Amino acid sequence: MEWLEQPPAVEVEVFEERAGSILQRNDSPDVPFRYGVNPYRGCQHACAYCYARPTHQYLGFGAGTDFDSKIVVKVNAASLLRSAFGRPRWERWPVSFSGVTDPYQPLEANYGLTRACLEVCEEYQNPVAIITKGALVRRDAELLGRIQRRAGAEVYLSIPFADDAMGRSIEPLAAAPSMRFETLRVLSEAGVPTGVALAPIIPGLNDSDIPEILQRAREAGASRAFMILLRLPAEVEGVFRERLEQVYPLRAKRVWSAMLEMRGGKLKEARFGRRMEGSGARWETLRQLFDVQCRRLGFEQRERESEIPRGPRGGRQGLLFPDEADVPDEAETPDEASFNEE
């Protein structure tokens, strides 16, 4: 296996699977895409805050280190996507990679499942959108550029930290933030529309990074931005708490206090429409900071779905935000973005 940076501290177990379907339909009003493709289950990036950790339990694995080290790969992902696109009812709805786990985690260097799916999208001229922390997406810059010209494509790099050391402490096997900013530059130069996701904002830890992240992303060619407040569904709270108190024991109390303040006295918020953002004066201050910096830098903001201009079905505008339509349902398993958090 090839590694762009340091290898993991634990051995990775790979479970090859021939899936029954590959398109997952998202029913959550909080998540701005209708269809997602997840070639992998589990994620080697090992981000302590990953909201998808509890989905691993549906496979009989744990939400902790199992999520990072026991990875399921859907070896027939591309053939399933080709079959789905070939159906008469499919009308080139934008497809997001991925709604749950990262499509450019390290195993993608070996398996190439995401690239194979993108080649199917190019073949069928189907719009795509990608959200990733993986610098490996640079490998597919030329391919994504061709898809953009023929059907529409956009790539968001999730960059919640400005400092490489802090990023490594919370996201130990994701690409360093500096590599992600450079990835934005490579993609932008290839003609791919890019954006930055400040996700998650962890008050008391990385909220002060907002101006620098936006500035560096804009300089790298990003033109869109959104932010999401830290979510701690189910077992994620325990995983994140352990990591935070291990690497930043003096900041932990400040983080928990700020989270309680922004969540109305609780750490978790499972209600649709409220999970991605906070409330109260402190949250509004962060939102204003984000808004001011975005306006100053000329970003197109995509913080709330209701604020997003929706383009024609299969068109180039608003790829992450397709029009409401009676679309065919091909949901596969509970690894969808609408996973019940409580």
For residue 67, CA distances in Å to 38, 58, 108, 160, 256 come to 15, 11, 16, 21, 24
Q: How many CB atoms lie within 10 A of CB 16?
A: 11
> Is residue 24 helix, strand or coil?
strand
DSSP string, 31-83: SS-SEEE-SEES-TT--TT-TTGGGGGGGT--SSHHHHHEEEEETTHHHHHHH
> Can you tell me the mean pLDDT for 86-104?
91
Evaluate whether 206 touches 159 at the Cβ level (below 8 Å): no
The whole-number pLDDT of residue 30 equals 56
What number of CA atoms fall less than 13 Å from residue 77's CA on the CB side?
Answer: 27
Q: How far is CA 308 from the centre of its chain?
A: 18
Q: What is the pTM of this model?
A: 0.86
Domains of the chain: 13-304 (3.20.20.70)
Q: Indicate if the pLDDT at residue 323 is higher than 70.
A: no
Give 137-183 pLDDT, tens digit per residue: 999 999 999 999 999 999 999 999 999 999 999 999 999 999 999 99
> Can you tell me the mean pLDDT for 49-61?
82
The whole-number pLDDT of residue 192 equals 98
Q: CA angle at residue 269 from 213 to 279, to 5 degrees?
A: 60
Q: Indicate if the pLDDT at residue 95 is higher than 90.
A: yes
The whole-number pLDDT of residue 28 equals 62
Give 225-259 pLDDT, tens digit per residue: 999 999 998 889 999 999 999 999 999 999 999 99
